[in-house]
Structure 1
Amino acid sequence: MSKNIEGKIVVITGASSGLGEATARHLASLGATVVLGARRVDRLEKIEAEITAAGGKAKAFAMDVAKKSDVETLIAGAIEAFGSIDVVVNNAGLMAIAPMSATKTDEWDRMIDINIKGLLYGIAAALPVFERQGSGHFINIASAAGIKVFSPGGTVYSGTKFAVRAISEGLRHEVGGSIRTTIISPGAIDSELKLGSSHEESAKSVGEFYQQAIPADSVARAIAYAIEQPADVDINEIVLRPTIQEF
């Protein structure tokens, strides 16, 4: 248990696998109450049941971050169930790698909808709650590809993650004081993110790149570190990669 995590209500999007699932399980083991949001109900219910069986507290909501009303319902449901929220982990993401010349505009739209608009919907739903409470913590999952453009192939994905970092830094500046904002920028982490590419050649190269990946709980531990700091300490950004990753 961690005294600054125990009892906190943490909302996590993209919680049905990968970073979101690992974070939910880790924070629950440290005494947090975790509210899980994702589209795959069967996966969510399994994770909820396993956390509860292990003595933790969890509640799952089926939702799609690309739908503003779903995100609002997730936050409202968390408050209805537990009375308040302390942390929102905007984790849901899509990485569809392909050359710009492939002009996969549908995938561009989907990445913008999930990676940027989904993040903004999470902020919009929770910020008024945090402001009323006079406390709160946004943890936004960016990427090493939001620091250096991952090209060829990841240009649009990088654009969305540069946006996550810009929005997060502006948010920190605007609402800092009682509300904390943390950017987590992972490199190659083992998750389903690597499966998002429909472009065959790009998908193969992504698979090779991710052979160096480290487990998802490495990100979960970084998130826990940011949460467990005293209220007047804001961990603004954590970048983590496999030790062997060059990019």
Structure 2
Amino acid sequence: MVENMFIKHEKYREGAPYVILLHGLLGSYKCWDALSKHLEDKYTIINCRLFGHEGNYEIIDKNSMLIKEYAKILKTYLEDHNIDEVNVIGHSLGGLIGLQLAKTTDFVSKMILVNVATKQKAVKESYKLKLTRVIEKQPEAFIKSHLKKMFINRTLYKEYFNKLIINEEAYKNYVLDIINDDYSDFVTYINKKNVYVVLSGKIFAKRRRKINKILEKYGYNVLDSSHIKMFNNEGSFVMQENAEYFNDYIKKILEGS
């Protein structure tokens, strides 16, 4: 099962820098297809499939669906393959896993966070119990509502939902884990010069009046403004809704231009 978590890109290049792609909650390893093709001429891509999602639907145990545990498995994978330097691109939940990897290793060179909320509001245990009951009672409706908020492009949303493969137990576990974790102090374990942030429309840009508070909440206010990119007209899946522009931007970051 662990072997099923990682897809080493078929166009492996000896000596080429590594790029790890971590999709988000309700996402799929396929959301990185366009970016992988865009980078394959200069990089070796490792595309990760999170437990409970497409390509890795089955669950080993509940611990396998925790951010810290997944990062530990990823660390072991890198060590087993003698990889000690990687660039990480993480979307949503995938970005939190990337930050946990950076927190526990010195493997991470550049970190690109795509619509990653590093910190949630403090919530009471009673809310967590209520949330758990809602997800368990109406999982499909809850997941559909969650996913709908992540897209601006309605056509793409419908296509995505119709193809969505998510283990409901995994979804519940990830949601509760995200609520509990706080990675807004990331600059204490990774050089801020190596961190880049992409924020997109429906999630962040429509709240521009509060953007400074948002950046402060997530710890992004310490980054140079050139390291924060706002995509104004896209939803959370910006890598698909505006693939060409997004891919060019990511490649420029990796190339240091």
In the superposition, the TM-score normalised over structure 2's length comes to 0.41
